Amino acid sequence: MISLKNITVHFGKGTPAFRTALKNISLKIQEGEFVTVIGSNGAGKSTLLNAIAGEFIPDAGHIWIDEEEVTQDSTSTRAKHVARVFQDPVAGTCSHLTIGENLALALCRGKSRSLKRAVTNTSRSAFQNILKPLNLGLENRLDTQMAMLSGGQRQAVSLLMATLSPLKILLLDEHTAALDPKTSRFVMDVTQRIVEEKGLTALMVTHSLSHALQYGTRTIMLHESQLIYDIAGEERKKLTPQDLMHQFGSSIDSDRLLLNT
């Protein structure tokens, strides 16, 4: 499904701020895997997701999706395969538009667009059915502006928007970091349900060691721009957050990696 070979990314070339964000990363992710990504600050976690999404062309290496090389493809070209949800609940939605209008925009992702009514009677009914499983009552608030929703409500809608059109890969960049613990658990449960129901291949960056092991099927760790750990299956099931903290010791930024949230 996703294959990265010797991916290297540099930032700030020719300046005092030059740094290596990813160093010789090789990684294969099978269809339907849900991979959690942990690591210290500046380890390259978000850069890894951005490389897969096509935010930039790596300085070295190759990227394949479904055995098709996409290394040189733009973000818009990869949008037919890849969707993202960001840390800030505001980032993935339009505040001044209604819930229904946001969902209508998401439905058009990757398609040609024209001037027409955004929310029709048919789409309104479809959007209500999509929102109802959230049990937030949002199916009755399609005409409410996104700006009026709480962070958790907005992030739940962002998840639905990201997966509304057919896609294969979902990238989650600390998408619960700005939420309180209770809301974070709710959004994570919605995430797990959507990934499983739609059979998506997902990568989720998180600073929560608990979430890294509780959700998904595989965990990888980056440190100093390199992939240093990769675990799945029965071996992963036996791990606790304390095991991860103990195993990596000083490699982990303990001020940012959280054990139990």
Spell out the per-residue pLDDT of the chain, length 261, in tens: 999 999 999 999 999 999 999 999 999 999 999 999 999 888 999 999 999 999 999 999 999 999 999 999 999 899 888 999 999 888 888 999 999 999 998 887 655 555 455 678 888 999 999 999 999 999 999 999 999 999 999 999 999 999 988 889 999 999 999 899 999 999 999 999 999 999 999 999 999 999 999 999 999 999 999 999 999 999 999 999 988 887 666 455 554 566 655
- pLDDT for position 189: 94
pTM for this prediction: 0.90
126 CB contacts (<8 Å, ≥6 apart)? Answer: none
- pLDDT for position 151: 92
Interatomic CA distance for residues 27 and 29, integer angstroms: 7
19 CB contacts (<8 Å, ≥6 apart)? Answer: 10, 11, 12
Interatomic CA distance for residues 19 and 257, integer angstroms: 23
Interatomic CA distance for residues 76 and 158, integer angstroms: 18
- pLDDT for position 91: 83
Interatomic CA distance for residues 261 and 255, integer angstroms: 13
- pLDDT for position 92: 80
- Assess contact for 96 and 144: CB atoms under 8 A: no
Nearest to 54 by CA among 6, 4, 95: 4
Interatomic CA distance for residues 83 and 81, integer angstroms: 7
- pLDDT for position 244: 85
What sign does the dihedral 88-63-44-245 (CA atoms) show?
positive
Q: What angle do CA 258, 26, 244 make, to 5 degrees?
A: 25
For the chain, the first-to-last Cα distance in angstroms comes to 30
- pLDDT for position 12: 93
DSSP 7-58: EEEEESTTSTT-EEEEEEEEEEE-TT-EEEEEE-TTSSHHHHHHHHHTSS--
- pLDDT for position 156: 94
- pLDDT for position 240: 92
- pLDDT for position 252: 54
- pLDDT for position 80: 84
- pLDDT for position 41: 87
- pLDDT for position 259: 63
